[in-house]
């Protein structure tokens, strides 16, 4: 098939998916918000008739004793809890199977995902395996492969970045092939979420910065894509403004409660935007850097974002110019192209101000073909990007951020 026909086919697929999504349930999670909101969660769970829960988290958060107050509150409500703290930074299929087994073996009735994107992804996929015991994780990868309501799911984010508390995706690493793939299905979207800024106070500056830029990537990629609707445009704009106003404040002063609270809300808005409007090639490439090299997802997105925006060129000038006006970094009389380029420059400035590297020095020459093919397999036709990449384009972009 010639390239022109391929691109036409990709666009048809994207339009069909966008149309089909109009008939899906896009109701947002019920939120518990504010300082100490996590302590209200056990009573909330008890009122749902649940008295046995699986808590999915990681050893780092356990060692920080960040869950201690939640444990005490669960005990006070006489809710039995079982902790799976074996989540890896990029959760793997064996990770998910262990988590699923713990849920079943302890007769749990619901799941609390506590942490960043990795515990959320692991918990979502484990929930899917609980209700689909005869369908492997590999067979769930892609779109609408689960199709069955997962157990009651309560999302408690401790970073302001992934937006996983409101997304329909779970990203999974296959340790055999070192591929990262997403399971995407509306049934994975959490019904309940807790936005408690106190849980993010202890985040180190480098985690604050990279997870925050992850959220900005969600907002920008959804905003410039071709599957936007009125609600996702508003979510993306609100997220972009909040991130620009608060991320560096939270990076400089981690105890700034207002900045932390605003970043949690921004991450939530950005998640709500991209879970319906999708992401793009920044994520497609970043996922595969994570699969091959274990690169933290937020860091990968932060570094790659300006290079992909550069490549899109004039196809996104209009949208980026609007975002530049929104965050008030340009004057009204400046031309659209100049405003758009100012927005990309502002991303680079933010990265530099928060000590995020300009380029990566670990990408191996022999891995480039694999990165390109896997990124395009993920991106085409699944992501409704403003401009479609071929292999040569993708390689050019990857080489642009290689040190």
* pLDDT tens digit sequence for 329-344: 998 889 999 999 999 9
- Overall average pLDDT of the 48-69 stretch: 96
> For the segment 252-302, what is each residue's pLDDT rounded down to a tens digit?
999 999 999 999 999 999 999 999 999 999 999 999 999 999 999 999 999
Segment 204-239, tens digit of pLDDT: 999 999 999 999 999 999 999 999 999 999 999 999
Q: Distance (Å, rounded) from C-alpha 282 to C-alpha 378? A: 11
User: Rounded CA gap, 218 and 77, in Å?
Assistant: 37
Q: What is the pLDDT of residue 90?
A: 86
Q: Which residue has the tokens 């005490």?
A: 72
Q: Identify the residue with better confidence: 333 or 374.
A: 374
Answer yes or no: is pLDDT of 364 > 90.
yes
- Report whether 146 contacts 113 (CB < 8 A): no
The structure tokens listed for 27 are 């109701």
Higher pLDDT, 143 or 328: 328
Mean pLDDT of the chain: 96
What's the rounded Cα separation, in Å, for the pair 370 and 400? 17
- Look at residue 180 and tell me whether its pLDDT is greater than 90: no
Helix, strand and coil content of the chain, in percent to the nearest 5, comes to: 60, 10, 30
299-313 mean pLDDT: 98
Q: Residue-wise over 317-331: b if at least 16 C-beta within 10 A, else e? A: bebbbbbbbebeebe
**Per-residue model confidence (pLDDT) at position 138:** 95
Domains of the chain: 25-200 (3.40.50.1970), 203-400 (1.20.1090.10)
> 41-74 burial string, b = 16+ CB within 10 Å, else e?
bbebbeeeebbebbbbbbeebbeeebbeebeebb
Lowest mean pLDDT among 11-25, 37-51, 226-240, 267-281: 11-25
Residue 86 has pLDDT above 80, yes or no: yes
| Candidate from 23-27, 46-50, 307-311, 358-362 with smallest mean pLDDT | 23-27
In this structure, are residues 56 and 122 in contact, taking their beta carbons and an 8 Å threshold?
yes
Q: What are phi and psi of 158, to 5 degrees?
A: -115, 0
Which residue in 218, 213, 216, 219 sits closest to 251, CA to CA?
Answer: 213
Structure tokens that stand for 285 in this block: 């490439």
Secondary element (H or E) of residue 211? helix 205-224
- Which pLDDT band holds residue 109 (cuts at 50, 70, 90)? very high
Quote the tokens at residue 137: 């994780």
Closest CA to 216 of 156, 259, 162, 287: 162
Distance (Å, whole) CA 300 – CA 120: 19
């Amino acid at each position: 098939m010639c390239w022109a026909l391929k691109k036409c086919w990709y666009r048809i697929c994207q339009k069909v998916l966008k149309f089909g999504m109009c008939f899906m349930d896009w109701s947002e999670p019920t939120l518990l918000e504010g300082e100490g909101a996590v302590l209200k969660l056990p009573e909330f769970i008890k009122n749902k008739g649940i008295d046995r829960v699986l808590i999915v988290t990681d050893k780092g958060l356990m060692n920080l004793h960040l869950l201690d107050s939640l444990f005490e509150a669960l005990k006070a409500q006489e809710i039995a809890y079982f902790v799976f703290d074996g989540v890896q930074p990029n959760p793997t299929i064996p990770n998910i199977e262990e988590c699923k087994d713990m849920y079943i073996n302890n007769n749990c009735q619901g799941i609390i995902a506590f942490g960043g994107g990795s515990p959320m992804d692991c918990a979502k996929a484990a929930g899917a395996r609980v209700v689909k015991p005869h369908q492997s994780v590999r067979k769930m990868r892609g779109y609408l492969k689960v199709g069955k309501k997962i157990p009651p799911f309560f999302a408690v984010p401790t970073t302001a970045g992934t937006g996983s508390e409101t997304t329909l995706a779970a990203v999974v690493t296959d340790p055999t092939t070192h591929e990262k793939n997403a399971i995407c299905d509306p049934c994975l979207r959490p019904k309940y979420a807790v936005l408690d800024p106190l849980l993010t106070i202890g985040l180190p500056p480098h985690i604050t910065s990279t997870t925050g830029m992850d959220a900005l990537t969600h907002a920008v990629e959804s905003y410039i894509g071709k599957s936007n609707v009125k609600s996702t445009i508003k979510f993306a704009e609100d997220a972009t403004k909040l991130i620009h106003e608060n991320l560096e404040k939270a990076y400089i002063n981690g105890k700034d409660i207002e900045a932390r609270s605003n970043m949690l809300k921004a991450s939530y808005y950005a998640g709500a935007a991209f879970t319906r409007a999708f992401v793009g090639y920044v994520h497609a490439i970043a996922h595969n850097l994570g699969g091959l090299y274990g690169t933290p997802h937020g860091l990968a997105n932060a570094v790659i974002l300006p290079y992909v925006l550069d490549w899109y060129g004039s196809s996104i000038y209009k949208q980026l110019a609007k975002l530049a006006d929104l965050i008030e970094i340009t004057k009204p009389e400046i031309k659209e192209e100049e405003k758009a380029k100012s927005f990309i420059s502002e991303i680079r400035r933010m990265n530099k101000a928060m000590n995020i590297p300009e380029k990566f020095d670990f990408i191996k020459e022999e891995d480039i073909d694999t990165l390109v093919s896997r990124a395009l397999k993920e991106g085409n036709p699944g992501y409704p990007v403003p401009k479609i990449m071929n292999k040569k384009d993708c390689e050019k972009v990857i080489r642009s951020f290689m040190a």
